[in-house]
Amino acid sequence: MGRAVAQARAGLSSRTGWSAAALLPLAFLALFFAWPVLAIVSLGLREGGVLSALADSDTWELVCFTLGQALASTVVAVLAGMPLAFVLARCRIRGLGLVRAAVMVPFVLPTVVVGLAFRTFWPDGGVLPIVLANAFFNVAVVARTVGGLWAHTDRRAEDAARALGASRPRAFLSVVLPALAPAIGSAAAVVFLFCATSFGVVLVLGGSRYRTLETEIYLRTVELFDLSGAAALSLLQFAAVLAVLVLGALARRRRETALALRDREELARRPTGGEWYVVLAAFAVVVALLTPVVGLVTRSLSTRDGWSLAGYVALNTRGDRGTLAVTGVDAAVNSLRTAFDATLVALVVGVFSAVVLVGLRRSGARFAEVLDTALMLPLGVSAVTVGFGYLITMDALPGDFRTSPMLVPLAQALVVTPLIVRMVLPVLRAVDERLRQAAATLGASPARVWREVDLPLVGRSLVAAAGFGYVVALGEFGATSFLARPDAPTLPVVIARLMSRPGELNSQMAYAACVLLMVVTVGCVLLIERLRVPSSGEF
Amino acid sequence: MRRICAVFAALALTGCSAGTSTAPQSREVTLVTHDSFAVKPEVLEEFQKSSGITVKQVASGDAGELTNKLVLTKANPIGDVAFGVDSTFASRALSEGVFAEYASPEASKGAQRYKADDSNRLQAVDVGDVCLNIDPAKLGGVEPKSYDDLVDPKFKDKLVVENPATSSPGLAFLLGTIAKYGENGWQEYWTKLRANGVKVVSGWEEAYNQEFSATKGDRPIVVSYASSPSAEGGKTKAVLDTCYRQVEYAGVLSGAKNSEDAKKVLDFLLGEKFQAQVAEQMYVYPSREGVALPESWAKDAPLPPNPQALPADEVKDNREAWVEQWRKLVQG
């Protein structure tokens, strides 16, 4: 009896402790997300007219189209990403590092440039190219998130099922898929949010026929200054995103299991038999991903008068007659530094959040779900809303934060943090509780348990998450274009500017800058591959 | 606790990309501009040296975004002086009281020709007219000369325009047709344009870099700027009877923290040295009289003599309705 009470008390106190720790990520979110967003939305609400916007049938058409295209894009991205995840996680094939890097390339490309590349295949735009382009950007999320967990999932259960006579598809469906479900759910949620808020793709490929909540919020806020209309649409966007996140969280909760995590090295092997079809599918996806990329490279080299390296040479200048405030190379360096800062902030907040989330859940706090969902919200809210929100709130912070250069990495971190949480959390959750209990029984403090048990198991996903986050920050455009200073633009901002000027050299240089961005990305990914911590022993 | 410290350390570290410009300086003026603002570094450098003023630049999106940001922050402005509010958005900025009155001595040297109103709150810095651009080689000698020509069957499937809902030159072209054919005539004109195969894309980048035959596409007539041909080495031409006037203004913000020095920055923007380089830097025409254009401009990109224009108030009041009507007409 006495022991039960003591146990309950211990549970309560750890719950309080974890809840207190949750305050840090919540404070970050509240300061740099909730406060600005609520401020701008409530400004719109005060103007009135929200109900009439909600009653408009056009509004509901927008909601349906937004969700429909996001859903379709998510399905395509998951289907295309799964074979890649398998190959990256399970296969021992030459050149895998390059595949891993190639998969990341689309993620950093400016949407305008990709939109234009897709237009060469679909000159009039339409729904299909929108869906494919959205999926193109997001295959990496699926491959990375699912691959991250898959690489550590014990192979023996699957082998046992096969030995007991299950066919390959059967073993996959009843053993592998349930184990991967949390990661697939996570990835799908992230992809859905990215697609639901995709802006450049819809603008370029939708002509002006197809509009989404995101493009309409932009139009209302930026061009028409109809803040009440924008607020109504923001509320709808918020509600839709929240609904999807809650559904995702419910789905994840049912599936959650502790898995016997293993090291990739001992799990990967040469593909056999039917697995080669999956490998083939994966390579088909890579080829599809690289097609627009090859188009970009070609365009960076070809001029009206034949092949030329002029665009690349111009990268060391400020563009045709000084289009830019800095040279292309300076912008690249600036991109690298800003992304580094953003990743650092996101890594600290993200890993801390993931640890807190797991702790909260283990101590049985319901609050875990709320925090989990809250952390994802920044992905589903329009960059315009956040950017305009900053304008009317951040001046209250010391030193008029609105024009502070620190705002760029912080805004990027807002986008990167949820990705890091999503990549680290499934692995962290899958750590077998018995290992931790054993360590605790042997006298290890909670911090020591984390260091000795959790950290070695999730080490690799941490490095992978950091690399992924870095690349995302490199390519981030929405928030950055709102906040970057003209004397310190990032590469995507420079590309947008070059694209908006006449003159063949500017356009050449824009495409060359895209190639530079891709090269930097591949370089980063390959470097991170090398940095990956060596095998940390048997568990 | 240690982890919390780490977060603060990380936040502090973000300063490493931030540089040192956050330290307030007594004679610093923050110049808020649209994204297309550009100035020759040596010209700005010389001004800073001779005046003792440090100019800090903040870019804030396109003309519309800039205007709305200024309106939103007028109680506590994000800068001291702003450049880039254009004729489409000027009346919004003026009626919201974003700008303070300042009769710059430099404003009477040509800028007054393009003034937004008589209140001396906005001064015209440059003019950037939107015109049809054509690719004469592709058209083979048969060139459109006016709005009317575009509905002629011989130019069927030749024209690409930007969506006025999402693109500023697209809107200017629509406004030009409204100015030309009147409140009741433009719908009929666009119905004919549609029948003649006009193609609509979302932005200038696509229209010019992807669809225009002089760059990559196969449409020889595009909505662009009067200045664009100066970048194409004589391969393209602007059709000077199809232009709509766009003026870009600057003004001292009401509530500027350093309004005395802000006035000097405004004088600089209207002054000879800055005006002499706007053409090369921003592809626009100087508002000041007697400033020479670069050589290639005189030949390839002269300033349109008689552009269309609409009163700013009329644009402000009707814009949303016009764009909505246009959408139903052209895409419905």
For residue B120, which phi and psi values (nearest 5 degrees)? 60, 25
> In the predicted model, what is the mean pLDDT of residues A132-159?
87
Which chain A residues contact residue B56 at CB under 8 A?
Answer: 403
Q: Please state, as a whole number, how many other Cβ atoms lie within 10 Å of the Cβ of residue A49.
A: 15
Rounded Cα–Cα distance for residues A358 and A368 (Å): 8
Query: Highest-confidence range of A74-83, A341-350, B35-44, by mean pLDDT?
Result: A74-83
> Within 13 A of A150's CA, how many CA atoms are on the CB side?
25
Mean pLDDT for A17-44 is: 88
Which value does ipTM take for this structure? 0.79
Q: Which helix (H) or strand (E) holds B133?
A: strand B130-134
Q: Which residues pair with B253 in a beta bridge?
A: B99
| Distance (Å) of CA B166 to CA A493, B171, B304, B327 | 19, 8, 25, 11
Per-residue confidence (pLDDT) for residue B19, from 0 to 100: 42
Instruction: State the pLDDT confidence band at A204, using cuts at 50, 70 and 90.
Output: confident
Q: Which pLDDT score is estimated for A153?
A: 80
Residues of chain B with C-beta less than 8 angstroms from the C-beta of A348: 3, 6-7, 10
> What is the rounded CA–CA span in Å between residue B162 and residue B133?
13
Residues of chain B contacting A224 with CB distance shorter than 8 Å: 319-320
pLDDT for residue A539: 26
Q: What is the pLDDT of residue A310?
A: 87
In this predicted structure, what is the pLDDT of residue B290? 92
The 3-state DSSP class for residue B83 equals strand
- Return d(Cα A82, Cα A489) in angstroms, integer: 36
Q: Is the pLDDT of residue A495 over 60?
A: yes
| Residue B254 confidence (pLDDT) | 94
Question: Does the beta-carbon distance from B17 to A404 stay under 8 Å?
Answer: no
Query: pLDDT tens, A41-78?
Result: 999 888 877 788 788 888 888 999 999 999 999 999 99
Chain A (203-222) residues lying within 8 Å, Cβ to Cβ, of chain B:
203-204, 206-209, 215, 219, 221-222
Mean pLDDT, all residues of chain A: 83
Tens digit of pLDDT for each residue in B57-95? 888 888 888 999 999 999 999 899 999 999 888 988 999
Residues of A in contact with B21 (CB under 8 A): 405
Question: Higher confidence at residue A214 or residue B133?
Answer: B133
Lowest mean pLDDT among A184-198, A258-272, A346-360, B318-332: A258-272
A313-341 mean pLDDT: 84
Neighbours of B295 (CB within 10 A): 9
Average pLDDT over residues A398-417: 84
Confidence of residue B266 (pLDDT cuts 50, 70, 90): very high
Q: How confident is the model at residue A313 (pLDDT cuts 50, 70, 90)?
A: confident
DSSP track, B267-332? HHHHSHHHHTTHHHHHS-EESSTTPPPPHHHHHH-PPPSS-B---HHHHHHHHHHHHHHHHHHHH-
Domain boundaries, chain A: 59-298
Portion of chain A with pLDDT greater than 90, in percent: 19
Rounded to a whole number of angstroms, the distance from the CA of A489 to the nearest CA of chain B is: 10
Domain A59-298 has CATH 1.10.260.40: no
More confident residue, B307 or A476: B307
pLDDT band at B185 (very low <50, low <70, confident <90, very high): very high
- Residue A519: its H or E element: helix A504-531
Helices A455-475 and A504-531: crossing angle in degrees, nearest 10, is 170
Q: Taking a contact as any Cβ pair under 8 Å apart, which residues of chain A between 300 and 359 contact chain B?
A: 320-325, 334, 337-338, 340-341, 344-345, 348-349, 352
Determine, for residues A226 and B320 on separate chains, whether the beta-carbon distance falls below 8 Å: yes
The two three-digit tokens of residue B160, written as one number: 């690409």
With helix as H, strand as E and coil as C, how does B21-81 read?
CCCCCCCEEEEEECCCCCCCHHHHHHHHHHHCCEEEEEECCCHHHHHHHHHHCCCCCCCCE
Q: Which of residues 50-79 of B touch A (CB under 8 A)?
A: 56-59, 61-62, 64-65, 67-69, 71-73, 76, 78-79
Residue in A with minimal Cα distance to B331: A209
Which DSSP symbol is given to B212? B
What is the pLDDT at residue B2?
42
pTM of the model: 0.82
- Selection from B111, B53, B115, B113 nearest residue B87 by Cα: B115
Higher-confidence residue of A459 and A278: namely A278
State the average pLDDT for chain B.
88
Instruction: Pick the range with the lowest mean pLDDT from A10-14, A342-346, A516-520, B269-273.
Output: A10-14
pLDDT by residue (tens digit) across A147-160? 878 887 878 888 88
Please count the other Cβ atoms lying within 10 Å of the Cβ belonging to residue B107. 22
Number of residues written out for chain A: 539
The span from the CA of A434 to the CA of A391, in Å, is 49
Contact B202 A24 (CB under 8 A): no
What residues of B are in contact with residue A504 (Cβ under 8 Å)? 215, 232
Q: Is the pLDDT of residue A517 over 80?
A: yes
Predicted confidence at residue A252, as pLDDT, reads 67
Whether the pLDDT of residue A21 is over 70: the answer is yes
CA distance B233 to chain A (A): 9
Per-residue pLDDT, A208: 66
